[in-house]
Amino acid sequence: MAPAPPGSQAVPLPSNLPFRIISKTIGQGAYASIRKACPLNAPKPIIAVKFISKEHAFKQGRLTPKQLSMEITLHKYLGKHQNIIHCVGSGEDTIWTWIAMELAEGGDLFDKIEADEGVGEDIAHFYFTQLVSAISFMHSKGIAHRDIKPENVLLSGEGDLKLADFGLAAMFKRDGKVRLCNTVCGSPPYIAPEIVSGRRSRRADLLDTGYAANVSDIWSCGVVLFVLLVGNTPWDEPTMRSEEFKEYVETNGRTTDELWQKIPPEIVSLLRGMLKMDPNTRFTLDEIRTHPWFTRSNPYLSPAGTNANPIGLATQMLSQLRIDFSTDPTQGSQRGSSQYPDAMEIDSAPSPHRSRADPNALISSTQPETPVTDMSFDWERPPRLGMPTYDGISASQPTSNNHRPAYQMQPLTQTPFLSQLPSSTQDLLSQDPSLTQFTPNPSVPLTLTQAARKFKDVLPNYSLARFLSPLSLSLLIPLLAEALHRLGVPVPPFGEEQLGQWERDGEASVRVKMADGRRQGLNGHVVLERVLLGGDAMCEVRFVKASGDPLEWRRFFKRVVVLVGDAVLRPG
């Protein structure tokens, strides 16, 4: 039997599954974790299986058996669509419910978009077109998603959009009859204003007057388009407590906000139509599909609505990921300064009296720990940096003296560059896509694109929120701790003995729990491991997101990297 998913009851998974579990955790939600699986007697196809602990979800959480049953029923009812994660099957025993799904081989879309920058018009148009296709299909089946946000937008191996997570989906039309929804749900930056502002006299999560869930989906799609274009949301929540939203409403969409100024007028007209306050006058899907910007030609979009140039698209997106080491990471880029959003569910939030715009008020708690003692950390490792697999490479493999030319037990006197390493190590790391983000003028090495056959060959499915350092763990951990302190992360003290133990183990982990700039839960780990690369021992640091907005996690990663910048290995 496979071990239990993290964050759930420490009991084994069902032994009579109709497939084989072949990975550790690759994704996690409030009550569930996701593993890879394959047929019992064959290596392919590889699917994703979501395991929900009933006791954890029903007794400790806020999920009901009826809600879980509805998620499965609606997901299966949707059937197949090229831009929607397909439900393969489901099952349960007395302890677990599982849902088998198509695997999103390309990972998270918004892992691959630069925070505060966004993507070019062609790429934004390509993914927006596919999102509208997915939502159009759902609505044609009478189902609204109700939780459209970056966290639920995934990619296929060819880089096509895949909409996921139907836990909040609802039937708004059946047998020709339209019904309104009353449940308050969604994520504050993406939720429609009619859901937040409605009167609730009976229960905090139920509106007295219902809303059209399909029309609310249109609003959320508009916010996602905005984020694609500029790498940030237009507001932190659609209430008058948000200064950006207040100005948007009072100026009838003619806001002076600097982010709106970056967007071309023809797209602004589409956004204003989708983000109309009155649901009755908000753009319909037909109006979106006939808008001049939507119908424009796009070199990445095939007549069938799929990726016409996967390698070109991946190359362009990778070249747009860039970390500017000259910025001040303690200055926030979050939107607004509204008060605690009591209308919405928050995973972990700091004091409501703290300013929303203060980046140092984002973190609620962290705890340094080693992976072996942290039962909730059981995540699948990505391929080792610079290597297609990590066969024969142990993260904590002891390094002999002749494997230590790059591993520094003394503080660095200058920024480490790739050119300072042996040529064999340089050749190895030149194939690693995560290094391109640290160059002043990002470009994608030909070694990455020449042999590429798929989108994921250039832009991998795993997160690029990681870096290499020649510093030892015992030197790098204090630097990271100081960086986290500067960002408001209270890291408990540790002594020389603990540092020595981490150095001997060759690995360490810091668990991060925070509320992001919009007071939404953002959780994960900063994992440090000693690795061998072409005979050189180095330290690899990975930022592993467990839950939360991928753009917010990217922003957090960038800030920490800039603060420890002189320890980060860079190309050149």
Collect the ranges in the chain with pLDDT lower than 50: 1-9, 336-375, 386-405
Looking at the structure, tell me whether residues 83 and 111 fall in a common domain: no
Boundary of a domain, candidates 53, 68, 102: 102
Looking up residue 34, the CATH number of its domain turns out to be: 3.30.200.20
Looking at the structure, tell me whether residues 73 and 140 fall in a common domain: no
Q: Which of 147, 165, 516, 536 is catalytic?
A: 147
Looking at the structure, tell me whether residues 145 and 281 fall in a common domain: yes
| Total number of domains in the chain | 3
pLDDT score of 408: 59
pLDDT score of 422: 87
Looking at the structure, tell me whether residues 234 and 198 fall in a common domain: yes
* Nearest CA among 363, 360, 334, 359 for reference residue 349: 363
3-state helix, strand, coil in the chain (%, to 5): 30, 20, 50
Q: Is residue 319 part of a domain?
A: no
Looking at the structure, tell me whether residues 94 and 116 fall in a common domain: no
Looking at the structure, tell me whether residues 70 and 114 fall in a common domain: no
* Nearest CA among 315, 307, 569 for reference residue 447: 315
Q: Is residue 316 part of a domain?
A: no
Peptide bond into 383 cis (omega under 30): no
Q: Is residue 119 part of a domain?
A: yes
Residue 303 CA to its chain's centroid (Å): 29
- Residues 6+ away with beta carbon under 8 Å from 212: 172, 178, 180, 181, 279
Please say if 147 is a catalytic residue.
Answer: yes
Boundary of a domain, candidates 77, 102, 127: 102
Does an H or E element contain 125, and which?
Answer: helix 121-140
Q: Is-contact 464 434, C-beta < 8 A? A: yes
Q: Is-contact 518 496, C-beta < 8 A? A: no
Consult the annotation and say whether 545 binds a ligand.
Answer: no
- The rounded radius of gyration (Å) of the Cα atoms in the chain is 23
pLDDT score of 359: 35
Looking up residue 253, the CATH number of its domain turns out to be: 1.10.510.10
pTM: 0.87
Looking at the structure, tell me whether residues 265 and 213 fall in a common domain: yes
pLDDT score of 377: 55
pLDDT score of 345: 30
pLDDT score of 335: 53
Looking at the structure, tell me whether residues 440 and 291 fall in a common domain: no
Q: Tell me the C-alpha distance between 364 and 490, whole Å.
A: 8
Q: Is residue 8 part of a domain?
A: no
Phi/psi for 176 (5° steps) reads 80, -5
Q: Tell me the C-alpha distance between 442 and 323, whole Å.
A: 9
Looking at the structure, tell me whether residues 154 and 33 fall in a common domain: no
Residue 39 CA to its chain's centroid (Å): 28
Q: Tell me the C-alpha distance between 540 and 467, whole Å.
A: 6
pLDDT score of 374: 34
pLDDT score of 202: 85
Looking at the structure, tell me whether residues 189 and 244 fall in a common domain: yes
Which two structure tokens, joined as six digits, stand for 430? 């030149």
Looking at the structure, tell me whether residues 437 and 302 fall in a common domain: no
Q: Tell me the C-alpha distance between 568 and 572, whole Å.
A: 12
Q: Is residue 349 part of a domain?
A: no
Q: Is residue 341 part of a domain?
A: no
Domain coverage including residue 545: 363-377+394-567
Boundary of a domain, candidates 78, 102, 126: 102
Q: Is residue 296 part of a domain?
A: yes
* Nearest CA among 416, 417, 442 for reference residue 324: 442
